[in-house]
Amino acid sequence: MSEQPWLPTLITSTPQEGYELAIKLSRMGVKSTQPNVELLKKMRPDYAENADSLTKASQVIAINFQTVAAANNYWK
Amino acid sequence: MSEQPWLPTLITSTPQEGYELAIKLSRMGVKSTQPNVELLKKMRPDYAENADSLTKASQVIAINFQTVAAANNYWK
Amino acid sequence: MSEQPWLPTLITSTPQEGYELAIKLSRMGVKSTQPNVELLKKMRPDYAENADSLTKASQVIAINFQTVAAANNYWK
Amino acid sequence: MSEQPWLPTLITSTPQEGYELAIKLSRMGVKSTQPNVELLKKMRPDYAENADSLTKASQVIAINFQTVAAANNYWK
Amino acid sequence: MSEQPWLPTLITSTPQEGYELAIKLSRMGVKSTQPNVELLKKMRPDYAENADSLTKASQVIAINFQTVAAANNYWK
Amino acid sequence: MSEQPWLPTLITSTPQEGYELAIKLSRMGVKSTQPNVELLKKMRPDYAENADSLTKASQVIAINFQTVAAANNYWK
């Protein structure tokens, strides 16, 4: 993961871009634990078709969005 | 998700509108992982009729509400 | 939920009233996902008689209490 | 719960008293959902003898301790 | 727990000592719910040999570390 | 764990290095509970091939990243 730059800054132009960055951060957290992309694809139905798993995924995004929003002073 | 603007600002007029924005943010977190709306509707009874799932959904809203409330300086 | 005003302010007179507002916010998070009050009542034994469910409910209140306490500058 | 005052202030003399207040807040979150003390006592072995339940209880205390510690400016 | 002083301050000399204090806070959260040390030792394999339980334990430490780090102004 | 220095500072040059530090903090939380590295390796498939476990791991990283990002004033 450290090989390729993927997180040059937490600053984004808009809240929506900030939310997308929060999604990216959440996915990198998964990839840092399981870098095998093929395996991740195989697991996808396990969570993408399970209501509680989707809620959990939304929660991780929410936590990362707190960080991105604070970094951008809430785009005020 | 990036196609249509859905989050122009975190600023709302009232705490209640801020809470509604927190609900929206929580739902977008789910949709970003599972964009298939039909599938989401089919899953609805899995969580909307399960007490623990509802608590988990309320928790994601609470986390997003922290962000929205801070962005609005708590509507003070 | 947007029909009736239920959250005019995050400001309360005392920490205890703030805690009660945190409870209210947690319940509104549940109701926003499942507005059917009869169904919610039927589910009540599922979580009110389950230790882990009660811990989870207490956690959502704790997260909302963080928000309310910050809004009130911790009643200092 | 609103009948008896139990949370007059978030201010404590020491970090340790603050931690004890965090424990109290966590317990009040449980009691607000299940006020039946007899039932709570009966449930006690369900979580007090289960490792994951104890971790969850410790997490709620940690979240409440964040609030109490901030209220006391970290006792600095 | 209130008998013996165990948390005189949140201030530590280094981030690493702060992390160790976060571990201590997490363990005290468990002990406050289950003070029976023998029982806690018996439960140890239940979580120390379970991957999800270890992740949950790490999460409680992370939350307490947020508090300790803020108390120390991030050792800046 | 206290034997070897592993956390001299929370300051990093870039957000990405901060994210890597958050991963390290999350792993140290696991190791502090289960220091047996061989046992941890054996458990790896339990969570690295389970979608919900990966989400939980990503959540702990997200919480630690909040701390590291705040320590670095969001690299602004």
* Residue pLDDT, tens place only, E58-67: 999 999 999 9
Q: How far apart are CA E18 and CA F7, in angstroms?
A: 10
pLDDT at C4: 79
Query: Cα distance from D36 to chain C (closest Cα, Å)?
Result: 10
User: Which chains contact C through at least 3 pairs of Cβ atoms less than 8 Å apart?
Assistant: B, D
Q: How confident is the model at residue A13 (pLDDT cuts 50, 70, 90)?
A: very high
- State the DSSP string of chain E: --SS---S-S--SSHHHHHHHHHHHHHHHHHHH---HHHHHHHHHHHHT-HHHHHHHHHHHHHHHHHHHHHTGGG-
Q: How far apart are CA F17 and CA D28, in angstroms?
A: 40
Task: Taking residues F45-63, report their average pLDDT.
Answer: 96
Q: How far apart are CA B36 and CA B19, in angstroms?
A: 25
pLDDT at E67: 98
Q: CA torsion sign, A10 to A16 to A17 to A23? A: positive
Choose, out of C23, C27, C58, the residue to mutate when testing the contact with D (most D CBs < 10 Å).
C58
Task: Taking residues D49-57, report their average pLDDT.
Answer: 97
Q: Say yes or no to pLDDT of D2 above 60.
A: no
Residue D18 CB contacts under 8 Å (≥ 6 apart), including other chains: D12, D65, D68, D69, D72, D75
pLDDT at B29: 98
pLDDT at D4: 79
Residues of F in contact with E75 (CB under 8 A): 9-10, 71
Cβ–Cβ contact F57 with E under 8 A: yes
Task: State the burial class of residue B37 (Cβ atoms within 10 Å of its Cβ: 0-12, 13-18, 19+).
Answer: exposed
Q: Residue C11's closest chain B neighbor by CA? A: B76
Task: Taking residues B18-47, report their average pLDDT.
Answer: 96
Cβ–Cβ contact D70 with E under 8 A: yes
Q: Say yes or no to pLDDT of E3 above 80.
A: no
The region that residue A74 occupies, defined by phi over 0 for left and psi between -120 and 50 for alpha, beta otherwise, is: left
Across chain F, mean pLDDT equals: 95
Write out residues in chain C with pLDDT < 50, as ranges: 1-2
Amino acid at D43: M
Cβ–Cβ contact D43 with E under 8 A: no
Cβ–Cβ contact A34 with B under 8 A: no
Cβ–Cβ contact C37 with B under 8 A: no
Choose, out of B20, B21, B54, the residue to mutate when testing the contact with C (most C CBs < 10 Å).
B54
Tokens for F25, please give them. 């903090």
F9-32, pLDDT tens digit by residue? 999 999 999 999 999 999 999 999
Is there a contact between D33 and C14 if contact means CB atoms under 8 Å apart?
no
**Spans of all domains in chain E:** 15-75
At residue A15, the 3 state secondary structure works out as: helix
Q: How far apart are CA D66 and CA D71, in angstroms?
A: 9
Residues of C in contact with B48 (CB under 8 A): 33-34
Q: How far apart are CA B53 and CA C40, in angstroms?
A: 12
**CA dist A51 → B75, C58, E19, F55, F65 (Å):** 33, 22, 35, 14, 26
Cβ–Cβ contact B58 with C under 8 A: yes
Q: How confident is the model at residue D3 (pLDDT cuts 50, 70, 90)?
A: low
pLDDT at C3: 64
Is there a contact between A8 and F23 if contact means CB atoms under 8 Å apart?
no
What is the end-to-end Cα distance of chain C in Å, rounded? 32
pLDDT at D7: 98
E25-54, pLDDT tens digit by residue? 999 999 999 999 999 999 999 899 999 999
User: Which chains contact F through at least 3 pairs of Cβ atoms less than 8 Å apart?
Assistant: A, E
For residues F67 and E69, the answer to whether their CB atoms sit within 8 Å is: yes
Which of D50, D61, D69 is nearest residue E71 as measured by Cβ atoms? D69
A24-67, pLDDT tens digit by residue? 999 999 999 999 999 999 999 989 999 999 999 999 999 999 99
Q: Say yes or no to pLDDT of F56 above 90.
A: yes
Closest CA to F2 of E27, E51, E24, E30: E24
Query: Cα distance from E71 to chain D (closest Cα, Å)?
Result: 5
Q: How confident is the model at residue E1 (pLDDT cuts 50, 70, 90)?
A: very low
Which of B47, B51, B62 is nearest residue C26 as measured by Cβ atoms? B62
Amino acid at D60: V
Q: Buried (b) or exposed (e) across E58-68, using 16+ Cβ within 10 A?
A: bbbbbbbbbbb
For residues A67 and F65, the answer to whether their CB atoms sit within 8 Å is: yes
Tokens for F1, please give them. 């764990």
Task: Taking residues B31-36, report their average pLDDT.
Answer: 96
